[in-house]
Structure 1
């Protein structure tokens, strides 16, 4: 992992990385044979081993970088010019659609007949309800390769960086009229897996499940969350049960237990243990492929595969080593998994359970079986939450206060629900008609949805807009690690280290608070069809806007900035005609286009709501330093103003291209 992180800040060539890693591997081999017969060991073997693995991480990133391939489309097409071309693509993944487009990840195979390689994001307009594409479909698309959209406001989710971590560097916007299907034949394992999912879905529809029930069934058993509507997804998030909808270690562990029970008679046959292990591994990996091979599925199946091999070879295994092996294998295959939120949280949850659950349970357990089961579930949930809490707050800035109730109720039932669901899937595959048995599964899913909806509506127990940063995340994990180590093996030195770390963390908090309090800035945020000016003074934020009440409450550009800067108080005001910040004068010209007879000389002019003005005359009259256009203006006006400013050699800042205008 350290090697992967280091590689992001190095620009080494593939040849240099291969040479360095080869030299280190050779040195490691020599040191191994030299040291294995030495009675007194020295540090060189261990030191070279660490450096070799770091170098291997760096090499893995370089070898997986698609941009290093000569055939990559970025070497054959100028994205900045965005010329209309003919693209031949093959769909590799179907994403969740938005209100305007259906989204797909596709492999680009040729541009205007010239063979190329690389992945792109295809956005197909939702102008009809028919044109949907499946994995492995080959298409001819007429359009332009365009740059990925970067975040335009501070602390906004960087979708461009997210896609680049998946080796996607461009996107195509098109509509079904400009797309023709060449082939729908399946030619990859992912295509066949998608075909199996689609076939099962079609067969499940004869059981007449409600759309919300079918969407949850797909997520729960097949790991496909594309069809879950926003309100239902929000209910699961607010209830702290979103992990139910992502196939992870909990699901794979339950399936492993089911398989062990069903295949138990094999142990009485000759070499039955080995046959059983092979069958389990085949079924687990087949299920992982059908479910889409997400990071959580990969982590869980890899880890349980290692455990299965250990069990049936009758070798002792250590859970930390098992986790490390699974992470190592996955990161060798795809180093960018390290930056997947699901990958990070799934490993931290398991580490939290393994490290903290025994400590909590041993302190709270009783002499009675039933209370111990409940206590164990509570401790399991607490341990998992402690493992993911700092990082989940950093990413999502939200904490579900009723997560204990959610997990204590659902975890004991999840095995039964998964088993029930797998039987229903078997019935569907065998074309068994609709019955009370299948109706019962629909009722179970509906009841689960209603339960999480009720939990999610308890707003008093949902803590939102919790600020965090990397210092807090690292500090929390370091303190948790040291305190846990102290309670595992109590000693004076461990107590001193833990308390010293807490003291240093408090000092760091003081300086962090001072830094945020001392930062002041003024911003013109980007908001389509609206204008927002923000003024940050320490922990206070003033928002000048022309939003309606609903947009004011739900606007992410404001809430993201508030959370990212640890803002304590936000005041909303109407958008002014003029504004002063740090002795700098701002003039806001709205749709009325009035700017004459001013009593001050503006340093900055903000154009809002597409004013019908002659920009040349405005520059002659006011002579501003910078002209700013926000997201409320027509694109045709923006283009004309930009050309005028180029001709007049006047700085022009359009928030839709350059992002929010920030004045410190």
Structure 2
């Protein structure tokens, strides 16, 4: 079976290609719309031709139209092409903002976080989405979905990572359509009375009622957090330790309402609605009700991208089952992806969850039958176990390169956790939905709550046991974007070479393997020759790093404070050995001299001329006299200094035309040494 024989697969691939072109080349709306219109006209002309043997022109223009549609869909999401987007107003100025809460995010230790839609700016209609960061206040309840607030606070840009290989939260939010954030205290806003109500707000209120009811039903704290995630898609109340256990056990997908959950809901709907098929046009009614129930559950689960994707795909599956025709699962998968990217949001393509889910489902559709052909045990128990292992193995093969690229780790016991949990997930979900129904009806027996709580506790204990087998958790694996591409090429060619043992397939797999090895060797050699100095940005402390090939010296005052920052560098730069040392006052690296001023009192007359001066802990010196005496080539201020000192130091350097670098503004200072 060749995937490219399916028209939906071809169209989806070319739509993705168009989205990538539009995003990375910033294609304008005018150009993409113009090209789409031209190719649509040519498409129509080619369709009206009488001689349509192979209809090559029609197919050619169809693919070009699809590419242009991808580019146009990206252009339509850009704020520059939306005159009412809030970024097209004058920012930042003191403006009267009218906002509507769209989504509640997981809070941290100090702040609540929300997504909000812009309704008005200074009374003028506007749109767009922002991130709200509100300080926790025990006297004021947190915002709810659909609440509307007014504030005069200024919108702020979302900070970029200040250290090498830090998580780029600004880029992540940008792909969600969020470009600014708003920080609020309890006195910075007031809530509008009688705010308009949306369907999303109604479902959020129902979800809140369900969660409140479950909280009063004798469930444990950890168990309640898992129940909310399993049934309602709300992971905000899961403890960090529990989430880490599921992640290390390779079972974190169980905590997200996605394809697995929606598939079970579809089967439950078909089972419950089966009697309707006896009525006239009963199959039509059952199909309609099934789709309504699926999308109703999607709204109840918060319409997250994973839920939208899964419900879209299984809506196609429900229709295919209604037709009772042999339909390709790849067509269903491709159509759901095409539908979501074109009609909902093309930027979903860049989200990790979207990539992981489709990679997993595609891999299951593709590899599961092949794995089943390898072994077909006669024993029913062995057969079912092999099916579960095959599904888990197929999914993990599909997501392995993406997991290594984003998370740099791989849970080796994923098949154990899936074998122990997935067979009972239908029972867990079905019983959970029954408990919600009984609770809403006010007739939930306490005995059922106790049984369900013990069931969730047992599942958590199993996951915890699997996660504790740390020997099988492979962490801190360096993996770049080219390795990602080459790994997928290797998987495809290797599978084809094993199933269709032709010379060209074996040659392609060998070339991919050689290419991957050559890239690993070349990148290792390149990184082994690098030498650089890095001044990290860390509030309250100083750290100077010296990388020489695969070795890293960490000179710092507090190793615990910088260990996470160092770990990110170690993974990405493939560091073999790390040495922690106490930070000294002067260093010499290959002709580069560095002076570190981080003591309360400095007698600068003792210092000779230096190339770089690093300021830390706001040293008490006459800065102007110091500069005139030492005459350094550059000044670097790290994150341990008082913010009030930075402007004065910067002005003194500007007056002397001396380069000044503050890590709090520009990020970690990196000096390449040749």
TM-score, scaled to structure 2: 0.94
Deviates more, 1:83-92 or 1:59-68: 83-92
The 5 A counterparts of 1:229-268 are 229-268=239-278
In the alignment, the residues of structure 2 paired with residue 498 and residue 46 of structure 1 have an alpha-carbon distance, to the nearest angstrom, of 30
1:38 is matched with 52
In the alignment, the residues of structure 1 paired with residue 146 and residue 647 of structure 2 have an alpha-carbon distance, to the nearest angstrom, of 40
Native 8 Å contact 1:142 1:174 kept in 2: no
1:311 is matched with 321
Alignment of 1:350 with 2:361, yes or no, is yes
**Aligned counterpart for 1:513 among listed residues 519, 524, 529:** 524
**Aligned counterpart for 2:132 among listed residues 122, 127, 146:** 122
**Aligned counterpart for 2:28 among listed residues 13, 19, 23:** 13
Query: Aligned pair in 2 of structure 1 residues 593, 184: CA closer, same or farther (>3 Å)?
Result: farther
1:382 is matched with 393
Native 8 Å contact 1:359 1:487 kept in 2: no
Q: CA deviation at 1:591?
A: 2.8
1:407 is matched with 418
Q: CA deviation at 1:599?
A: 5.5
Q: CA deviation at 1:281?
A: 0.4
Native 8 Å contact 2:248 2:411 kept in 1: yes
1:533 is matched with 544
Alignment of 1:621 with 2:629, yes or no, is yes
5+ residue gaps in structure 1? Answer: none
In the alignment, the residues of structure 1 paired with residue 564 and residue 94 of structure 2 have an alpha-carbon distance, to the nearest angstrom, of 34
In the alignment, the residues of structure 2 paired with residue 389 and residue 57 of structure 1 have an alpha-carbon distance, to the nearest angstrom, of 27
Q: CA deviation at 1:602?
A: 1.0
2:653 is matched with 645
The 5 A counterparts of 1:41-190 are 41=54, 43-79=56-92, 83-128=93-138, 130-183=140-193, 185=195, 187-190=197-200
What do residues 416-461 of structure 1 show as CA deviations (whole Å, max 9, x unaligned)? 1001101011111111244101111111112212222222223222
Between the two proteins, the alignment pairs up a number of residues equal to 656
What do residues 528-549 of structure 1 show as CA deviations (whole Å, max 9, x unaligned)? 111111111111111111114x
Query: Aligned pair in 2 of structure 1 residues 134, 599: CA closer, same or farther (>3 Å)?
Result: closer
What do residues 191-237 of structure 1 show as CA deviations (whole Å, max 9, x unaligned)? 11111110111121220212211111111111111111211111111
3-state DSSP of counterpart to 2:25: coil
What do residues 273-329 of structure 1 show as CA deviations (whole Å, max 9, x unaligned)? 111111110000110111112222122111111111111123331111111111111
Deviates more, 1:558-567 or 1:495-504: 495-504
Q: CA RMSD in A?
A: 1.7
Native 8 Å contact 2:393 2:415 kept in 1: yes
In the alignment, the residues of structure 2 paired with residue 662 and residue 495 of structure 1 have an alpha-carbon distance, to the nearest angstrom, of 44
Alignment of 1:198 with 2:212, yes or no, is no
Alignment of 1:337 with 2:348, yes or no, is yes
3-state DSSP of counterpart to 1:534: strand
In the alignment, the residues of structure 1 paired with residue 369 and residue 250 of structure 2 have an alpha-carbon distance, to the nearest angstrom, of 23
Q: CA deviation at 1:501?
A: 2.2
Native 8 Å contact 1:394 1:469 kept in 2: yes
Native 8 Å contact 1:223 1:245 kept in 2: yes
Q: CA deviation at 1:505?
A: 2.4
What do residues 518-567 of structure 1 show as CA deviations (whole Å, max 9, x unaligned)? 2221111111111111111111111111114x435xx3211111111111
Native 8 Å contact 1:531 1:631 kept in 2: yes
Q: CA deviation at 1:349?
A: 0.4
What do residues 155-184 of structure 1 show as CA deviations (whole Å, max 9, x unaligned)? 111100111111111111111121211136
Native 8 Å contact 1:267 1:276 kept in 2: yes
In the alignment, the residues of structure 2 paired with residue 438 and residue 661 of structure 1 have an alpha-carbon distance, to the nearest angstrom, of 56
3-state DSSP of counterpart to 2:192: strand
Alignment of 1:397 with 2:411, yes or no, is no
3-state DSSP of counterpart to 2:604: coil
In the alignment, the residues of structure 2 paired with residue 614 and residue 116 of structure 1 have an alpha-carbon distance, to the nearest angstrom, of 51
2:17 is matched with 2
Alignment of 1:25 with 2:40, yes or no, is yes
1:286 is matched with 296
Query: Aligned pair in 2 of structure 1 residues 117, 532: CA closer, same or farther (>3 Å)?
Result: same
Q: CA deviation at 1:37?
A: 3.8
Alignment of 1:590 with 2:598, yes or no, is yes
In the alignment, the residues of structure 1 paired with residue 91 and residue 149 of structure 2 have an alpha-carbon distance, to the nearest angstrom, of 22
1:370 is matched with 381
Alignment of 1:611 with 2:626, yes or no, is no
In the alignment, the residues of structure 1 paired with residue 274 and residue 139 of structure 2 have an alpha-carbon distance, to the nearest angstrom, of 48
Native 8 Å contact 1:307 1:317 kept in 2: no
Query: Aligned pair in 2 of structure 1 residues 151, 472: CA closer, same or farther (>3 Å)?
Result: same
In the alignment, the residues of structure 2 paired with residue 452 and residue 598 of structure 1 have an alpha-carbon distance, to the nearest angstrom, of 61
Query: Aligned pair in 2 of structure 1 residues 433, 410: CA closer, same or farther (>3 Å)?
Result: closer
